[in-house]
């Protein structure tokens, strides 16, 4: 029923809405795929039945791409089993000097980093066992690039929290963000979480839902509350890291390997 509803109601807008965390634009099928209630073959069957699939339909094509990413990570796990044993696919990245920063890790886990979109995602996961995919990428990259904390700690935390936690997909996603995996993002490409927030949650609706202490702020300030006034008094932490300086630090750490 959920699959049918997605095909009939959401597929047409999937390409444009799947990255908007405040919009119910994703399939929400991942928990059922993870535990075997739904199979990849069933998804493919309904997508291709009776001439339904159109190669020029961007919504259908995008969903197919996402299903294939899932299969790609499963095959990666099968062909390179070391990635299931806490090893990076790119073996030289084992030499990265990750920070030992338990306080920063705890702030990230609890959703108290001072970066609203990151905190919203971490709190959503803690409350519901699920996090929007776009925000998963933002929170993951923030941990392993801006905080320069070992991606394996984040991978483990996600697996403990997510109801759709899948070893292959979770590992693949984290290694993509950390630039340690197969076909991963280049190490110098680092998401700016504030820019991501402004682009994909422009009105701050997602942040207002999960970080209610910022709900009274306007649509510009909610993405970076202390940007204009560092002395602003809020019941919300100030950023635990400078985004620009930490980006430079991460790039230098990768250059050293």
Is 164 contained in some domain? yes
Is 129 contained in some domain? yes
Residues 72 and 104 in one domain: no
d(CA 57, CA 13): 10
Band of residue 51 on the pLDDT scale cut at 50, 70, 90 = low
Residues 43 and 157 in one domain: no
Residues 56 and 108 in one domain: no
pLDDT tens-digit profile of 147-199? 999 999 999 999 999 999 999 999 999 999 999 999 899 999 999 999 999 99
pLDDT at 4: 87
**Arithmetic mean of pLDDT, 214-241:** 97
Averaged pLDDT score across all residues of the chain:
95
Query: Is the confidence at residue 96, as pLDDT, over 90?
Result: yes
Q: Is 210 one of the catalytic residues?
A: no
Residues 156 and 235 in one domain: yes
Residues 158 and 73 in one domain: no
Q: Is 133 one of the catalytic residues?
A: yes
pLDDT at 244: 98
CA max distance for the chain: 62
Is 84 contained in some domain? no
Is 72 contained in some domain? yes
Residue 130 contacts residue 216 (beta carbons within 8 Å) = no
Which residue is catalytic, options 63, 108, 130, 151? Answer: 151
Is 119 contained in some domain? yes
Query: Is the confidence at residue 50, as pLDDT, over 80?
Result: no
Q: What CATH code is carried by the domain that includes residue 115?
A: 1.10.579.10
Is 107 contained in some domain? yes
pLDDT at 49: 81
**Arithmetic mean of pLDDT, 34-45:** 92
Query: Is the confidence at residue 55, as pLDDT, over 80?
Result: no
Q: What CATH code is carried by the domain that includes residue 56?
A: 1.25.40.80
Query: Is the confidence at residue 22, as pLDDT, over 90?
Result: yes
b/e string for 165-185 if b means 16 or more Cβ within 10 A? Answer: bbebbbbbbbbbbbbbbbebb
Residues 169 and 198 in one domain: yes
Residue 160 contacts residue 60 (beta carbons within 8 Å) = no
pLDDT at 48: 83
pLDDT at 7: 87
**Arithmetic mean of pLDDT, 121-129:** 99
Residues 168 and 243 in one domain: yes
Residues 113 and 237 in one domain: yes
Residues 114 and 198 in one domain: yes
pLDDT at 1: 82
Query: Is the confidence at residue 71, as pLDDT, over 80?
Result: yes
Q: For the whole model, what pTM was predicted?
A: 0.94
Residues 222 and 132 in one domain: yes
- Domain range spanning residue 145? 89-257
- Of 56 and 32, the structure prediction assigns the larger pLDDT to 32
- Of 1 and 151, the structure prediction assigns the larger pLDDT to 151
- Of 51 and 194, the structure prediction assigns the larger pLDDT to 194
d(CA 171, CA 98): 18
Residue 228 contacts residue 69 (beta carbons within 8 Å) = no
Total domains in the chain come to 2
Which residue is catalytic, options 174, 176, 210, 224? Answer: 174
Q: Which of 22, 52, 79 is the last residue of a domain?
A: 79
pLDDT at 109: 99
Q: Which of 46, 79, 112 is the last residue of a domain?
A: 79
180-185 LR contacts (CB < 8 Å, sep 24+): 180/88, 180/89, 180/90, 180/93, 180/96, 180/151, 181/76, 181/83, 181/88, 181/89, 181/90, 182/76, 182/80, 182/89, 183/72, 184/89, 184/90
Residues 126 and 252 in one domain: yes
pLDDT at 130: 98
Is 55 contained in some domain? yes
Residues 119 and 71 in one domain: no
Band of residue 95 on the pLDDT scale cut at 50, 70, 90 = very high
Is 101 contained in some domain? yes
Q: Which of 79, 98, 114 is the last residue of a domain?
A: 79
Q: Is 98 one of the catalytic residues?
A: yes
Query: Is the confidence at residue 17, as pLDDT, over 80?
Result: yes
Q: Is 151 one of the catalytic residues?
A: yes
């Amino acid at each position: 029923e959920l699959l049918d509803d997605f095909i009939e109601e959401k597929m047409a807008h999937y390409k444009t809405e799947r990255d908007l965390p405040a919009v119910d634009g994703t399939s929400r099928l991942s928990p059922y795929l993870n535990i075997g209630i739904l199979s990849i073959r069933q998804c493919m069957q309904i997508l291709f039945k009776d001439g339904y699939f159109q190669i020029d339909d961007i919504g259908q094509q995008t969903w197919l791409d996402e299903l294939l990413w899932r299969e790609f990570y499963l095959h990666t796990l099968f062909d390179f089993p070391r990635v299931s044993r806490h090893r990076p696919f790119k073996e030289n990245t084992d030499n990265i000097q990750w920070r030992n920063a338990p306080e920063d890790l705890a702030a990230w886990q609890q959703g108290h980093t001072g970066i609203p979109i990151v905190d919203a995602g971490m709190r959503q996961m803690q409350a519901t066992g699920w996090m929007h995919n776009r925000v998963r990428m933002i929170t993951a990259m923030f941990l392993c690039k801006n905080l320069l904390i070992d991606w394996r700690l984040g991978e483990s935390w996600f697996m403990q929290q997510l109801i759709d936690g899948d070893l292959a997909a979770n590992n693949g996603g984290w290694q993509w963000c950390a630039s340690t995996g197969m076909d991963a993002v280049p190490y110098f490409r680092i998401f700016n979480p504030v820019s991501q927030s402004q682009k994909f949650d422009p009105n701050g609706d997602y942040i207002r839902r999960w970080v209610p202490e910022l709900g009274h702020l306007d649509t510009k300030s909610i993405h970076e509350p202390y940007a204009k006034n560092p002395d602003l008094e809020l019941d919300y932490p100030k950023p635990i890291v400078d985004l620009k300086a930490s980006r430079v630090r991460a790039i230098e750490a990768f250059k050293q390997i």
